[in-house]
Chains A and B, each alone.
Chain A
């Protein structure tokens, strides 16, 4: 069974074909980064225009690379939310058009759920494994920070999320305040390579009664104040400043996750989403966690359509779920 996945929730136009439970036939991503980088962030209007231009060619390319024709497709899976509404709409409309033209079932899926299944795709550590539950999953990206308890396939409980900024958002803004471009995460990571991560202190806010909730706006503000008040450090000790800020952010993520892992007695921890590619985050998790921690490879940690195809495949085959042509994009959608 072949599933075609479409993902357009943010600024990447992505289409993938997978076979059965996660063998990747093609995984195409047309990045729009070049169109947005001058603005220091994603411009929604530009993103939706580019998606509309690129979607057809991205589908065509994914079919070509998979050596597959449209008639071989058995299921069409698309991100219905959360994300930028104008961007989501392009993917949803393309998926509906394919479903209508080919008379094939359609399913709209949650982007966050998609990230979880990036761990179960071919090449990822949990591919074709089903004895890994209960599993704790940290979804961490420019748009999201969520801690999810996963009892089994398709069964989740969100333990905590961010009360304000996403982790990736905080680091983007810190980088921007230092005068660097977008996306900020990889820039700060590189700047901090030679620095001392424990040299400067940044706050780690916890909430009474909500031990698994995150907050990054306090950290972000502290970072910006620090830059304003210590031009000497920015001038002479940038590597340690970048490393310390990154380390503070990593500590918040790792501490909350490990606490939840202990409290819920999970078998393992998955870390997914764009920020999961961060080296310091990976190293800190591996160093501090008493149980196995799984990361998807880099190409599957950022937004991609293979994870959307697998999510749709699982929902369709395990629960018989489908969507009709009334399927609409939903900008704010919770797991």
Chain B
């Protein structure tokens, strides 16, 4: 079993290759002007370095949000076309769940920026989700009770109580990937995978106008 894990839904971009036992290679990229976001290019580079054959891949996992609108869409399109072309299963990974996996059994609110001074938020306790993904405003987030607020992003600008920034840990991704593969969490039709947006199109359109 060899899996490929992809994410461009938040900062940083992640491409990680692993098998049943260990991580084979991981790229955690903090894109900037010199190395812009390029999920497929870093993935190909990783395959080239390892001389890894695509036909040896057995699963693809992708973070399908919530997160950056464009980045999430790119990750989802890349992953579902790869899954379709290589004819292997596709497993979606929720970004906020991935954050929660980094902090063990603590009761936390996992948070990512949703732009426009809003945030994607979900609550986790004892490693399990205790609320759905929601969008909250900055003041709603500031007024939350004393839960620990955790994010991959530096949200210090938002003046949150009990905020903790964490870094992406490839080992956490690896164990989550193995768990999801063992549970058979792949979706029936990979081409049907959609990003998790949370914002409705019509609401968005009215705001744009």
Contacts and interface: CB of A to CB of B under 8 A. Distances in A.
B40 interface: yes
Nearest to B80: A56
A191 to B, nearest CB: 28
- The SS class assigned to the A binding surface is helix
A52 B8 CA distance: 15
A56 B40 contact: no
- The SS class assigned to the B binding surface is helix
A86 interface: yes
A43 interface: yes
B84 interface: yes
B38 A326 contact: yes
B82 A97 contact: yes
Contact of A45 (B44, B190, B205): B205
A93 B74 contact: yes
Contacts of A324: 41
B44 A325 contact: yes
A288 interface: no
A89 B73 contact: yes
A39 interface: yes
A97 B205 contact: no
- Most B Cβ at <10 Å: residue of A45, A70, A86: A45
A159 interface: no
A6 to B, nearest CB: 10
Contacts of B85: 70, 97-98, 101-102
A90 interface: yes
- Most A Cβ at <10 Å: residue of B80, B191, B208: B191
Given A45-B201, A60-B84, A89-B74, A97 B195 contact: no
- Most A Cβ at <10 Å: residue of B54, B85, B195: B85
A172 B86 CA distance: 43
A49 B77 contact: no
A200 interface: no
Interface string A306-335: 000000000000000000111010000000
A93 B40 contact: yes
Interface in A5-39: 39
A57 interface: yes
B209 to A, nearest CB: 9
A46 B38 CA distance: 23
A94 interface: yes
Interface residues of A, number: 30
B49 interface: no
Contacts of A72: none
B71 to A, nearest CB: 10
A102 B204 CA distance: 37
A93 B195 CA distance: 15
- Most B Cβ at <10 Å: residue of A39, A97, A324, A326: A97
Interface in A60-97: 60, 70, 86, 89-90, 93-94, 96-97
B197 to A, nearest CB: 7
A59 interface: yes
A90 B40 contact: no
Interface of A: 39, 43, 45-46, 48-49, 52-53, 55-57, 59-60, 70, 86, 89-90, 93-94, 96-98, 100-103, 324-326, 328
Given A56-B84, A325-B44, 11 more contacts: A45-B208, A48-B73, A52-B194, A52-B195, A56-B77, A56-B191, A70-B85, A96-B78, A101-B86, A325-B40, A326-B41
29 contacts: A43-B205, A45-B204, A49-B197, A49-B201, A52-B76, A52-B195, A55-B77, A56-B80, A56-B81, A59-B84, A60-B84, A60-B191, A86-B73, A90-B77, A93-B40, A93-B77, A93-B78, A96-B40, A97-B77, A97-B78, A98-B81, A98-B85, A101-B81, A101-B82, A101-B86, A102-B85, A103-B54, A325-B40, A326-B38
